[in-house]
Structure 1
Amino acid sequence: MELGTSYRSIWKVSIPIIIGSAAQNVVAMTDSVFLYYRSEDDFAAIGFVAAFYIIVAAVGFGFSRGGQIMIAHCAGQDRPELVGRTFYSTVYFELVLAIAVFLFMTYGAYWLFASLVDSDIIFYKSLEYLETRKWGVFASYLGVACIALYTGIARPVFIVIDTVVLAATNIFLDHALIFGNYGFPEMGIAGAGLASTISEYVALGVFLVYMLFDRKNRIYRIGKLPDWDRKLIREIVGLSVPIVAMSVVGLGSGFFFFGLVENFGERALAVTNIVRIAYLILSIPAWGFCTGINTLVSYFVGKGQLYNVKIVLWKTAYMCLGVTLLMGLPIILFPREVLYPILGDGRAYLIEAAYPVFWVLLGILITFSFGSIFFNGLIGAGQTKKALIYQTSCAVLYMALVFVVVRSGWGNLTIAWSVEIVYWVAMFGLSLRYFRRPRWQSRY
């Protein structure tokens, strides 16, 4: 493959990833929207437990990112056989990891939720959802390994098709299993978990069939199952552990936020879930560009073209901001007109209550566009340990400020959401400072 720094090249790599990276967002959003129509308790509960499951998904995705970066690096060095071995090493480790995470959700989630949630309703409904959702972790982790391969070699177009399959299947099964339509049993929030699980297995099956018949990947010897390569797996794990830790720290702070917001009451948690649905939609471009910048930066480092890194970082950040605002301004300026067709009038009071927070969301999206791109450029350059230090510092600051806001007498939901702007400004400042140092190129 041959990549450049033009906007067209960035767009070509990023747009399929933007759509493909929407997978977990689409699943979480679809579950939330259907449960919104069922009851306010179900809607509040899915806001909490979905935030937890996104962390679970992020663990698998984080380890696949290490594989993706190594695959892109090998592709930049024109070593196709090593690309295939790296892919299978990623698959092997993801399977082992899936088993460990499944056991934690089976035996440890009860105690974790009990320590975070005060409401019995939210607690038991969250466990009910997780009972059917946890089985999807195997399909999820294998799926992100496949995505890592096609993203790493900059051929992510099929990811778009597979995401459409995932979304369509999940929408149909949510409608069937939550409400008991088409002859299916009415399962409520447990049906949402089962629908998402089945959808992930369907999407994985489609992806595997495509890989089997894809002639272009034969140079990577995908059809040949290599032995367990301890050295290669250690390299992937060594690169991935800081990325996973960053995902856990970042999303864990979000999970912490949801747990604290519950102290404002179940209504505040439901309002926060309304904003979360908008955030899930509007953050899709940024996360897609983030994954794309991982591939682009790693590719240029592998090529020895370090002078292109800052060029592609700034261009990607500007593109990310433009696409995000294009999507975001209609929702933020006209939430009633945009969200009512999706959420209906049944609980319109929740949308009304969320109005002030939507303006805060605009500030979050602007700072997020720059902070996330430069931060992921750091990851793509292989500086995962430094990136972990930066994110941990910012997350500690974020959680401390949120705790003060929630526990104080003057705090409210709008101020609590505003703290995330501080988080992304700090992330951008630290990452930009690193790339401005003349010494950073001497590391390669």
Structure 2
Amino acid sequence: MAIYMLGFGFSIGVQILIARKNGERKYGEIGGIFMQGAFFLLALAAVMFFLCDSITTHILSRLISSDQVYAAASSYLEWRRYGLFFSFIAILFRAFYIGITETRTLTLNSIVMVLSNIVFNYILIFGKFGFPALGIAGAAIGSSLAELVSLLFYVAYTWLKVDKKKYALFQQFSFKLSEFKRIWNISCWTMLQSILFPSQWFLFFIAIEHLGERPLAIANIMRSINTCFFMAIFAFSDTTSSMVSNLLGSGKEKSEIWLACKRAIRLTYMIGIPFLLLSALFPTVLLQIYTNSQELVQAALPTMYIMLLGYLLSAPGLVLFNAVSDTGNTSRSMKIMLITISIYVVYVVVMVMYLQVDVAIAWTSEYIYGGMLLLLSYLYLK
């Protein structure tokens, strides 16, 4: 995941520049940005491909004591690393389509990828249609093949449906340092942000582990449910990203950028709040998807209510934070994230590791995170 997030972070910088050029109607420059991004991501994939051996040998061997678990993890990484080449270029196509505001293509690609993943995993994990049952190695191969199918879909769709001449796609096959530097000045910060973003959860779960097994089990269930709600936030954040960069490129006033942000927040609430209300009214139905223990379900209820309320802060916070990044000032958005995570870390350490509060109270750390993103992003954009 950390390796993938490096590539994803770089693609966000590419997306910002493509959207800006699209807004400026300088369509012919988009192909050059795309190709320079492709050169870097292929090189990054190659480096990470070979580093996976070192990760397996030097890191996993120290973290995993069981020989069987180590063998399974090594087998998974051995095959999973091939998918880096496919996934890194696929996320570049994702950046291209978001940048030119053709997000419908992403939905089609997601359907193709999910279906491919299900089919390949079914065949290779369980050994269907004459293939051997490969277990965890089959899961890795299946995921990598699904990423290849996703990439092939993007290539075929782009070749058949997109005006390649308009965007000067697939025309520049030489590395241009000056153009790459322009991308790097933005992408280096978004790469760091992409690594920092999941680190909050890593720290949170390390802290919760000190409270015991049941709080950790509750936190894991909440994390799974929270991820479902965040899918809507991320979708509208991506849309806002494209709109902000396109508006800036076309020379629109800041008031129109604010209007785009408000529209995205409103839509996020319109979609998210009905699900929040249903979850609040029938919490046990949702919790029983994740556990059969009625005792655990009852213990998780207070945390769930606190988690649901956190959506009201996280939604506008992430939308505005993405808008800051897409003004092109990614170093400022990096500062916002560093300040937010620093305050979040202090809160978690004090509340969980020193005061040993209940997991429900510990989950209020999400209010700190979402609230700080919202406040600092608002102050920058106003």
- What TM-score does the superposition give when structure 1 sets the normalisation length? 0.77
Does 2:257 correspond to 1:312?
Answer: no
* Counterpart AA for 1:306: E
Q: Deviations over 1:45-81 (max 9, x none)?
A: xxxxxxxx1x332221111111111111111111121
- Could you say which residue in structure 1 is the equivalent of 2:327? 381
Does 2:301 correspond to 1:355?
Answer: yes
- More deviation, 397-406/81-90: 397-406
Q: Do the aligned partners of residues 207 and 377 (structure 1) sit closer, same or farther apart at CA in structure 2, a change above 3 Å counting? A: same
* Counterpart AA for 1:402: V
- Could you say which residue in structure 1 is the equivalent of 2:98? 151
In structure 1, how many angstroms separate the alpha carbons of the residues matched to 2:276 and 2:144?
29
Does 2:356 correspond to 1:410?
Answer: yes
Alignment of structure 1 residues 226-265 onto 2, 5 Å: 226-264=173-211
- More deviation, 427-436/329-338: 329-338
SS in 1 for 2:93: helix
In structure 1, how many angstroms separate the alpha carbons of the residues matched to 2:110 and 2:338?
31
Q: Do the aligned partners of residues 102 and 344 (structure 1) sit closer, same or farther apart at CA in structure 2, a change above 3 Å counting? A: same
* Deviation at residue 413 of structure 1 after TM alignment: 3.0
Q: Do the aligned partners of residues 391 and 114 (structure 1) sit closer, same or farther apart at CA in structure 2, a change above 3 Å counting? A: farther
* Deviation at residue 263 of structure 1 after TM alignment: 4.2
Between the two proteins, the alignment pairs up a number of residues equal to 380
* Counterpart AA for 2:367: I
In structure 2, how many angstroms separate the alpha carbons of the residues matched to 1:382 and 1:430?
16
* Deviation at residue 257 of structure 1 after TM alignment: 2.6
Does 2:347 correspond to 1:401?
Answer: yes
Does 2:317 correspond to 1:371?
Answer: yes
- Which of 302, 318, 327 does residue 275 from structure 2 map onto? 327
Counterpart contact for 2:244–2:257, Cα < 8 Å: yes
Counterpart contact for 1:375–1:431, Cα < 8 Å: yes
Does 2:83 correspond to 1:136?
Answer: yes
- Could you say which residue in structure 1 is the equivalent of 2:40? 93
Counterpart contact for 2:16–2:242, Cα < 8 Å: yes
* Counterpart AA for 1:337: V
SS in 1 for 2:109: helix
- Could you say which residue in structure 1 is the equivalent of 2:143? 196
Q: Do the aligned partners of residues 421 and 219 (structure 1) sit closer, same or farther apart at CA in structure 2, a change above 3 Å counting? A: same
Counterpart contact for 1:212–1:223, Cα < 8 Å: no
Alignment of structure 1 residues 17-96 onto 2, 5 Å: 53=1, 55-96=2-43
Q: Do the aligned partners of residues 206 and 351 (structure 1) sit closer, same or farther apart at CA in structure 2, a change above 3 Å counting? A: farther
SS in 2 for 1:283: helix
* Deviation at residue 238 of structure 1 after TM alignment: 0.8
Q: Do the aligned partners of residues 420 and 101 (structure 1) sit closer, same or farther apart at CA in structure 2, a change above 3 Å counting? A: farther
Q: Identity, % of aligned pairs? A: 26
- Could you say which residue in structure 1 is the equivalent of 2:113? 166
Counterpart contact for 1:405–1:412, Cα < 8 Å: no
Q: Deviations over 1:149-192 (max 9, x none)?
A: 11111112121111001111223344444555666555555544
CA RMSD in angstroms, aligned pairs only:
2.9
* Counterpart AA for 1:155: E
SS in 1 for 2:173: coil
Q: Do the aligned partners of residues 306 and 100 (structure 1) sit closer, same or farther apart at CA in structure 2, a change above 3 Å counting? A: farther
* Deviation at residue 424 of structure 1 after TM alignment: 0.9
In structure 2, how many angstroms separate the alpha carbons of the residues matched to 1:352 and 1:130?
38
SS in 2 for 1:251: helix
Q: Deviations over 1:331-372 (max 9, x none)?
A: 4542443465x6585x67665554333222212211111100
Q: Do the aligned partners of residues 281 and 190 (structure 1) sit closer, same or farther apart at CA in structure 2, a change above 3 Å counting? A: farther
Alignment of structure 1 residues 275-294 onto 2, 5 Å: 275-294=222-241
Q: Deviations over 1:105-152 (max 9, x none)?
A: 33136655678x698699746556444433322211111101111111
In structure 1, how many angstroms separate the alpha carbons of the residues matched to 2:131 and 2:300?
34
* Deviation at residue 320 of structure 1 after TM alignment: 1.5
In structure 1, how many angstroms separate the alpha carbons of the residues matched to 2:96 and 2:137?
33
* Deviation at residue 306 of structure 1 after TM alignment: 2.4
Q: Do the aligned partners of residues 113 and 283 (structure 1) sit closer, same or farther apart at CA in structure 2, a change above 3 Å counting? A: farther
Counterpart contact for 1:286–1:320, Cα < 8 Å: yes
* Deviation at residue 312 of structure 1 after TM alignment: 1.4
- More deviation, 206-215/127-136: 127-136
In structure 2, how many angstroms separate the alpha carbons of the residues matched to 1:151 and 1:212?
17
* Deviation at residue 254 of structure 1 after TM alignment: 1.9
In structure 2, how many angstroms separate the alpha carbons of the residues matched to 1:435 and 1:113?
43
Q: Do the aligned partners of residues 177 and 215 (structure 1) sit closer, same or farther apart at CA in structure 2, a change above 3 Å counting? A: closer
In structure 2, how many angstroms separate the alpha carbons of the residues matched to 1:180 and 1:263?
41
Q: Do the aligned partners of residues 179 and 323 (structure 1) sit closer, same or farther apart at CA in structure 2, a change above 3 Å counting? A: same
* Deviation at residue 429 of structure 1 after TM alignment: 0.5
Q: Do the aligned partners of residues 233 and 430 (structure 1) sit closer, same or farther apart at CA in structure 2, a change above 3 Å counting? A: same
In structure 1, how many angstroms separate the alpha carbons of the residues matched to 2:23 and 2:248?
8
Does 2:69 correspond to 1:102?
Answer: no
* Counterpart AA for 1:310: W
* Deviation at residue 244 of structure 1 after TM alignment: 1.3
Counterpart contact for 2:83–2:143, Cα < 8 Å: yes
Gap runs ≥5 in structure 2: none
